[in-house]
Amino acid sequence: MFYFIVSMREVAFIKQNKEKWLNFEKTIYNNQFKNPDTLSSLYIQLMNDLAYAQTYYPKSKTISYLNQLASAAFQRIYRTKREKSNRFISFWKTEVPLIVHQYRRYVLYAFLIFGAFVAIGALSAAYDDSFVRLILGDGYVNQTLDNIEKGDPVAIYKSGGNFGMFIGITLNNLYVGIQSFIYGIFGGLGTGYILLHNGIMLGSFQYMFYQEGVLWESVRGIWIHGAMEIFAIVIEGAAGLLLGASILFPKTFSRMASFKIGLKNGIKILISTFPFTFAAGFLEGFVTRYSNTMPNWLSVGIILITLGIISYYYLIYPFIVHKKLKLHVSTI
């Protein structure tokens, strides 16, 4: 009887505020607010409704909906207040982290999908001797095995000039990232294919080095640039999954309106990976080739620093920015 009463009260709560929330939602996503003070006032009302729902209906899906709406309001408030000062800095410092926080579940999905395909690639290579050649090609495998015999497993990264390799690798990685995002338009399946292709390649490639007894030598060389390169590919995959979800699950929006929102936010996430892609290309062109001559502490240090920077930006910093702005807006 008690739960029935609570349920009826929740229905009344939703009915009472539904029109306000929907209008606020459409206004936020269509950027119709010109006055930041008005937006802040309405945001406070939204936070009051969220607090009420968390108190009386802690297991309700309404909380998830209001949280998502509040996150979108954060972005709009910050952009309105900061646009006149420095749009470029605010994009990287606040706007992207808030978008990543809002759609953090797609980052998780992308990591889980990619990790699963890496495992499949490694297991397939372990149980089928021909699998690595099927995935990487005979020429690449033969050249790598020849380099291993010569005592330089990552010698393939020394071919060509520094600048030429930097440009070629960077352009290729940018192409893969953009492709991964655009293919999300097929309900996320295209993005899944890109993650599958790259994950299986990575898993089988690393298993080949393990099988030849030079896994550590490959790790300390390849992951100098691979930490940022692979991480960026996963984040770009998350942007593609977001685009696909915006088409498949429009929620309260029309499908076209949902697609426009997903496209805009996905592009921003995609663009945010470009500096990391350039950094990875630079490391691959100018640093990785010296991995076999540098001390272990230096190569490991570069790997940990690059991995730490990109991990912090996408996995930790968004929560810090979200919490900071939540406290800031609540005082308006």
One domain for residues 22 and 134: no
Query: Is the per-residue pLDDT at 234 higher than 80?
Result: yes
Contacts of 174 by beta carbon, 8 Å cutoff, 6+ apart: 274, 277
77 pLDDT band, cuts 50/70/90, is low
5 pLDDT band, cuts 50/70/90, is very low
One domain for residues 43 and 145: no
One domain for residues 141 and 207: yes
Contacts of 205 by beta carbon, 8 Å cutoff, 6+ apart: 121, 132, 135, 136
79 pLDDT band, cuts 50/70/90, is low
One domain for residues 17 and 162: no
One domain for residues 298 and 160: yes
Q: Percent of the chain having pLDDT more than 90?
A: 49
One domain for residues 302 and 168: yes
Distance CA 170, CA 307 (A): 18
Specify if 91 maps to a domain. no
- If one counts the domains in the chain, the total is 2
One domain for residues 108 and 67: no
Query: Of the candidates 54, 85, 116, which is a domain's last residue?
Result: 85
Q: Which domain holds residue 126?
A: 102-318
Query: Of the candidates 37, 59, 85, which is a domain's last residue?
Result: 85
Query: Of the candidates 51, 85, 119, which is a domain's last residue?
Result: 85
- Whether 254 and 122 have beta carbons less than 8 Å apart is answered as no
One domain for residues 49 and 185: no
Distance CA 202, CA 115 (A): 10
The answer, as to whether pTM is greater than 0.75, is yes
Compute the average pLDDT of residues 212-234: 93
75 pLDDT band, cuts 50/70/90, is low
Q: 251-305 pLDDT, tens per residue?
A: 766 788 789 889 989 999 999 999 999 999 999 989 988 888 889 999 999 999 9
Query: Is the per-residue pLDDT at 102 higher than 80?
Result: yes
One domain for residues 110 and 67: no
Choose between 67 and 316: higher pLDDT. 316
Distance CA 304, CA 64 (A): 35
Mean pLDDT (the chain) is: 85
Specify if 156 maps to a domain. yes
One domain for residues 72 and 182: no
One domain for residues 132 and 224: yes
